[in-house]
Amino acid sequence: MSTISIIGAGGMAAAISGLAAKAGHTVEVTSRDAAKALALARQVGSGATTGTFGAAPAGDIVILAVPYAAVLDVVKQYGKELAGKLLVDITNPVAPDYVSFVTPADSFGAHEIARAAPADAQVVKAFNTLFSHVLAAGPVEGHPLDVFIAGDDAQAKARVSAFIGSLGLRPMDTGLLPMARTLEHVCLLSLGLMTHSIKHTNFAIGVSLLG
């Protein structure tokens, strides 16, 4: 098991940190709001600690569990403290209209994060296609949830895949980091289904292997 640093204290931060602690990982929670970080660490239990926002994270795997609207500023504020770290981008740069993105037309969220991060940090997209309450609940009827990932560094993806697997989830590698653009579109797909078809958020998009 390893130390996982989570920047953020919202629903996704709670879901991932809870699963990580149950799996035996050491969890560090950090937030601009120190009180929220402390509350989440206490909720997680299992020896979860809090870190100082902007200081070097304790974990080599750092989960960026803040909204996309804040994540670039967060990464820039940490600056060199993220050098050499494996950054897991779970964000979705969805515009207020819920059918488009706030990123430049020739870019995507994970790419913008990679540009803002230190050159030797590795960025892997993961967890962005799952609703927080669905993720927190874990496997359904014995079937693990699928977590789609994308990244340029094979070793980094292998580490993220191992972490995902340790949570009782199924990692699904989709390719190099540019595939994160497609994964961000999956968020729009989920929002479209929620609005026009399923009418709730108690669902997950995954892969059914036939035969």
The pLDDT value given to residue 102: 98
Pick out the chain residues at pLDDT < 50.
Answer: none
Residue 12: Cβ within 10 Å count: 25
- Listed in order, strand segments (DSSP E) in 53-189 are 61-64, 86-89, 122-125, 146-151, 170-173
List the one residue out of 137, 43, 117 whose CA is nearest residue 77: 117
Query: 92: buried, middle or exposed (CB in 10 Å: 19+, 13-18, 0-12)?
Result: buried
Cα 177 from Cα 40, distance rounded (Å)? 30
Cα 15 from Cα 79, distance rounded (Å)? 26
The pLDDT value given to residue 84: 97
List the one residue out of 111, 115, 86, 114 whose CA is nearest residue 101: 111
List the one residue out of 60, 96, 95, 90 whose CA is nearest residue 74: 90
Q: Within 5-123, where are the H helices? A: 11-22, 34-44, 68-78, 109-116
List the one residue out of 179, 183, 177, 194 whose CA is nearest residue 87: 177
The pLDDT value given to residue 138: 85
- State pTM to two decimals: 0.96
The pLDDT value given to residue 49: 96
Our CA angle for 44, 162, 130, nearest 5°, is: 60
CATH class of 3-198: alpha beta
